[in-house]
Amino acid sequence: MVIADGFFVSSSKATGSVKLVDLTNYPKVDVVKISTDKKANFYHHAEWVDMDRDGNLDVVAARAYKSINPFSKAEG
């Protein structure tokens, strides 16, 4: 399973991440963060896609930043 997180009322209060969750040995689960921290950025969506057509699935995620400052430029 893949988790995209970090979105709160104020994105400046959290740095999001993309994590893989291994449920093979449920109820014992292993969680591995695969993203690099970028301060105050959050992830809304992540999908499994074979980006290079090698038969292996890759994780693609949408990362964004929106400051609470109305004059600050949003990024995504």
In the chain, domain spans: 2-64
Nearest-angstrom CA–CA distance, 8 and 21: 21
Which range of 12-21, 33-42, 52-61 scores highest in mean pLDDT? It is 52-61
pLDDT tens digit sequence for 22-43? 999 999 999 999 988 888 888 8
Q: Give the number of other CB atoms < 10 A from CB of residue 75.
A: 12
pTM here is 0.71
Q: Let me know how long the chain is.
A: 76
What are the Cα distances from residue 76, in Å, to 2, 23, 48, 56, 69? 20, 30, 19, 26, 16
